[in-house]
Chains A and B, each alone.
Chain A
Amino acid sequence: MLSILIFIALMLTSGYPLLLRLWPESDKLSRWPLAFLLGSSLITLELFFWIFLFRWPSNYWLLLFFITQIIVLWWWFDCWHFNWWVSIQQLSTSLKSWRRGNILVYFLGLLLLAQIVIGASVAWMKPVVHYDSLTMWTLKPALLLADPAGFFDGSSPHFQGLAGQPNYPWQIPLSVWLQAKINGELDPAYLNYIYYAYFLSALILIYSALKNQGRLKALIITNLLATTPLFFYHSWNAYADLPLAVYALAGLIAWLAYQRGKISPWPALIFWGLAFWVKNEGALFLAVALIILAVQLLQNGQWRKKWQYALMALPVLVWLIWLKLTGLGLAQTSGSLGWHPEVLMAFFSAFWSFTSWNILWYVAPVFLLLYYKEIWRNQAWRLAWLWWVGVLLSFLVVYLFTPAYLYAVEFTAIQRNIIILVPVLFLLIGLEEEKKDE
């Protein structure tokens, strides 16, 4: 268990100084998950350069590099004023404030705690056993650990993890690899906790984003998210869809802050821009955001001054060039572009699969009918919904016109794509009193 704690501490301490520089106004509670996201992206991108480009060995120099980096980042961004004692006192004050809660608040707090404990126990008791995890997310780092020479040898069956989707990005496999390195071996009992950390991040983020609307409401919505069946299932099944969902959520929280005029669009663009490194479809987050931003800036006549936001697309382009140069390609299936209308029925029915969503997809249309006027009047809220709808339609377009339609009609991926949009949807629904802030 110590290895997973060291792993998370490494991500947090690497990401925290970057977060303070990028988004100093961020909510104190949300800093933990946001720092974890930034740290995960940074460390795994560096590991990719270290292992894949430079082919350097993973020895004590790598450890020294990370420790030096943390010291330099904390010094460079002047984070040493972080006072642990004050922080602990704040936490204590915050916990004491729960004494003033009513019975419903206690009930919801206990329910959430129970769900968190059950998630942790299932993560422990169900080591890596699910299909994509066995064939890809865990197998790739296992191959890299067991046969590092064969991993870069084109004639080896282990080349680039050929067994499982070699053209998928490396944040999750390299996280697993790093955790195994810290642990000394790849122990399946600990791996699920990487994904579980993202699950906790999602809960903390949504609670902290909504807590200014009242603890009761924030707890209700956090509980709804934690008890959404397929979302909870992904807290321990070692797939990458839940981590991707957390990047979408972090990006949207920053996007709302930008649209309210509190911060620049950089934090949102960076969280959405880093999502491609979790799964290829994460690139759609940034693409949709850049289109909305471009239209907004064109309307305001600010495009010439602020064109540099488009630079966030560069890492995605670099990754695409890497896939091209290494011959790995972008597609997961062979075939050419076409029109596959049968996807529409599969796509629609995926929303109404009660095994996955409880009554969420009854609530969302009812909510839109109740509040469409308020949504339209409030620019931040409207543009956040627009982003959500844009990403949803992007998925639909990919399925309708590419060979990926197979994953939709066979129901192998479509529900997992919907998971990505669920925490964001809960946040958007939870903002129904946003107008009071205006």
Chain B
Amino acid sequence: MFQATIWPEFFYSINNFTAGMSALPWLGATFILWIIVAKSFCYVQNIKFKTISFFWLPLLAIWLAGFALADMTAYAKELKANQQLLVYNSLERQDYRVCEVIFGGPEKAMEACPLGVLFEKIKDNVGPEDKIYIAYPPEIFNFYFRLRLLPYYQLTNKPEEAQAILFFMPNQQLDCSGETKEKLICRNNDGKIWGTFDLVANFGDAAGLLIRQE
């Protein structure tokens, strides 16, 4: 199925990266105007239209103006973010960058990225023999959790056999509810309870890590 809902988030991040490009139509028009002037000048003066002088060097100047207007700001932001992330390992940097997509910008992501805490909780509560069920719909986070956890944990497609569930509320795949948000009881279609879970870590407002009660 085509997942149109995911892409706006994605393009948002790309647009952020290249913000400030609105001056470029003017630069394009400047280049065209320059070519008309240069060609006319060469025709009137009966001199050769030298491509390096009349085409490539003016193009380079206008191109670099566009590059400076648009990309230099983005580069500065990138380099600043990179400088702050140097102390982290590659997985932590990856978590932070995924948080950028969630929060729509680097500043908030740096302050409030919950993924590190989430994966620490998994490490504390899930052993190598235990299985994890990812109850997210097939969106970017489902894929991200899958990719992130695959090398270290066993994943399962059967929630009944899972020790831990990455869950978000409300969830169309699982019927889990409780009197408090911290303790959830999960039932199957005929109402039979198949698991009782503690919410041990929050991921955003409505999602978190569920660990099966002993």
Q: Is the interface of A mostly helix, strand, loop or mixed?
A: helix
- Tell whether A224 pairs with B4 under 8 Å between CB atoms, given A157-B157, A233-B14: no
Residues of B within 8 A of A358 (CB): 24, 63, 66-67, 70
Q: Are A406 and B151 within 8 A (Cβ)?
A: no
CB of A94 within 8 Å of the partner chain: no
Q: Which of B1-35 contact A (CB under 8 A)?
A: 2, 4, 6-7, 10-11, 14-15, 17-18, 21-22, 24-25, 27-29, 31-32, 35
Q: Which of A270-294 contact B (CB under 8 A)?
A: none
Residues of B within 8 A of A333 (CB): 2
Q: Are B98 and A129 within 8 A (Cβ)?
A: yes
Q: Which of B44-81 contact A (CB under 8 A)?
A: 49, 51-52, 55-57, 59-60, 62-64, 66-67, 70-71, 75, 78-79, 81
Residue of B21, B62, B90 near A189 (CB, 8 A) is: B90
- Tell whether A355 pairs with B94 under 8 Å between CB atoms, given A122-B82, A146-B151, A370-B35: no
CB of B43 within 8 Å of the partner chain: no
Q: How far is the CA of A135 from the CA of B147 in the complex (A)?
A: 8
Bitwise interface map of A from 354 to 372 toward B, beta carbon under 8 Å scored 1, else 0? 1110110111001100100
Q: Which of B82-120 contact A (CB under 8 A)?
A: 82, 85-86, 89-91, 93-94, 97-98, 100-101
CB of B206 within 8 Å of the partner chain: no
Which interface residue of B49, B71, B75, B86 has the most chain A CB atoms within 10 A? B71
Q: How far is the CA of A411 from the CA of B11 in the complex (A)?
A: 9
Q: Are A125 and B85 within 8 A (Cβ)?
A: yes
With both beta carbons as reference points, the residue of chain B lying nearest to A214 in the complex is identified as B52
Residues of A within 8 A of B90 (CB): 127, 187-190
Q: How far is the CA of A186 from the CA of B15 in the complex (A)?
A: 29
Among the stretches A19-27, A137-145, A311-319, A376-384, the one at the interface with B is: A137-145
Residues of B within 8 A of A410 (CB): 2, 4, 7
Q: Are A216 and B52 within 8 A (Cβ)?
A: yes
Q: Are A126 and B2 within 8 A (Cβ)?
A: no
Residues of B within 8 A of A126 (CB): 93, 97
- Tell whether A125 pairs with B151 under 8 Å between CB atoms, given A224-B63, A354-B22: no
Residues of A within 8 A of B2 (CB): 333, 406, 410
Q: How far is the CA of A24 from the CA of B74 in the complex (A)?
A: 43
Q: How large is the interface on A (under 10, 10 to 19, 20 to 34, 35 or more residues)?
A: 35 or more
Q: Are B31 and A366 within 8 A (Cβ)?
A: yes
CB of B193 within 8 Å of the partner chain: no
Residue of B24, B28, B35, B93 near A127 (CB, 8 A) is: B93
With both beta carbons as reference points, the residue of chain A lying nearest to B94 in the complex is identified as A127
CB of A229 within 8 Å of the partner chain: yes
Bitwise interface map of A from 204 to 224 toward B, beta carbon under 8 Å scored 1, else 0? 000000000010110011011
Q: Are B140 and A134 within 8 A (Cβ)?
A: yes
CB of A5 within 8 Å of the partner chain: no
With both beta carbons as reference points, the residue of chain B lying nearest to A146 in the complex is identified as B150
CB of A375 within 8 Å of the partner chain: no
CB of A185 within 8 Å of the partner chain: yes
Residues of A within 8 A of B91 (CB): 127, 188
CB of B146 within 8 Å of the partner chain: yes
Residues of B within 8 A of A322 (CB): none
CB of A3 within 8 Å of the partner chain: no
CB of B194 within 8 Å of the partner chain: no
CB of B144 within 8 Å of the partner chain: yes
Residues of A within 8 A of B21 (CB): 229, 354-355
CB of B143 within 8 Å of the partner chain: yes
Residue of B24, B35, B39, B89 near A354 (CB, 8 A) is: B24
Give B73 Cβ to nearest chain A Cβ, in Å: 12
- Tell whether A366 pairs with B140 under 8 Å between CB atoms, given A126-B97, A185-B151: no
With both beta carbons as reference points, the residue of chain B lying nearest to A355 in the complex is identified as B18
Q: How far is the CA of A217 from the CA of B60 in the complex (A)?
A: 10
Q: How far is the CA of A415 from the CA of B139 in the complex (A)?
A: 22
With both beta carbons as reference points, the residue of chain B lying nearest to A362 in the complex is identified as B28
Q: How far is the CA of A210 from the CA of B40 in the complex (A)?
A: 28
Q: How far is the CA of A427 from the CA of B71 in the complex (A)?
A: 23
Q: How far is the CA of A187 from the CA of B89 in the complex (A)?
A: 10
Q: How far is the CA of A367 from the CA of B59 in the complex (A)?
A: 11
Residue of A130, A142, A355, A359 near B27 (CB, 8 A) is: A359
Residue of B59, B85, B97 near A363 (CB, 8 A) is: B59
CB of A78 within 8 Å of the partner chain: no
Give A417 Cβ to nearest chain B Cβ, in Å: 16
- Tell whether A139 pairs with B51 under 8 Å between CB atoms, given A127-B94, A363-B59, A370-B35: no
Q: Are A355 and B6 within 8 A (Cβ)?
A: no
Q: Are B31 and A363 within 8 A (Cβ)?
A: yes
Residues of B within 8 A of A367 (CB): 55
CB of A164 within 8 Å of the partner chain: yes
Q: Are B56 and A220 within 8 A (Cβ)?
A: yes
Q: How far is the CA of A34 from the CA of B49 in the complex (A)?
A: 35
CB of A46 within 8 Å of the partner chain: no
Residues of B within 8 A of A111 (CB): 64
With both beta carbons as reference points, the residue of chain B lying nearest to A129 in the complex is identified as B97
Q: Are A125 and B143 within 8 A (Cβ)?
A: no
Bitwise interface map of B from 127 to 160 toward A, beta carbon under 8 Å scored 1, else 0? 0000000000010100110110011000001000
Residue of B18, B56, B70, B147 near A217 (CB, 8 A) is: B56
Residues of B within 8 A of A164 (CB): 143
Give B49 Cβ to nearest chain A Cβ, in Å: 8
Q: List 13 extra interface pairs beyond A163-B138, A233-B14, A370-B35, CB under 8 A.
A: A125-B78, A125-B81, A125-B93, A126-B97, A129-B100, A224-B63, A229-B18, A358-B67, A366-B31, A370-B39, A406-B2, A410-B7, A433-B51
Offer 11 A-B interface pairs, CB within 8 angstroms, sorted by A: A187-B90, A188-B91, A217-B56, A220-B59, A227-B64, A333-B2, A355-B14, A359-B27, A363-B31, A366-B32, A432-B55
The 7 closest A-B pairs by CB, nearest first: A189-B90, A362-B28, A354-B24, A127-B94, A129-B97, A146-B150, A355-B18
